Amino acid sequence: MQHAAEWARENQATFAFNRARALAALDPAIDLRRTRKALAADAVFAPLFARERERVATMSFRHVEVRDAELRTVFEVYASVVLGTENTFETH
């Protein structure tokens, strides 16, 4: 729910944030070297982030439960590569 919530911050709606960051990379006026918090507060970046949260809210998804923590970590990376979700797996 928080990946798409209007109130979700940059460290809660990480998928939407990363999608907005990919769009922002097309705009040379946006300095992507800043922290996530600074980007989220940027007047040009913030609308991109809001739009991507809205977009995520319309997406359908499937859920896979993986109880083992190590296997879950590997599975997340594998699924990202296979599905092309553009996850960076950076810490935030």
Decide if 24 is inside a domain: yes
Other CB atoms within a 10 A radius of the CB of residue 65 amount to: 5
pLDDT tens readout for residues 54-88: 999 999 888 889 999 999 989 988 988 898 876 76
Decide if 69 is inside a domain: yes
Residue 42 has pLDDT above 90, yes or no: yes
Please state, in angstroms and rounded to a whole number, the distance separating the CA atoms of residues 18 and 21.
Answer: 5
**CA distances for 71 relative to 74, 78, 82, 89, angstroms:** 5, 10, 16, 16
- pTM to 2 decimals? 0.72
What's the total number of domains in the chain? 1
The helix-helix angle for 14-24 and 45-57 (nearest 10°) equals 130
Decide if 50 is inside a domain: yes
Decide if 2 is inside a domain: no
Category of 88 on φ-ψ map: left (φ > 0), alpha (ψ -120 to 50) or beta: alpha
Decide if 30 is inside a domain: yes
Domain that holds residue 58: 14-83
Decide if 8 is inside a domain: no
Decide if 71 is inside a domain: yes
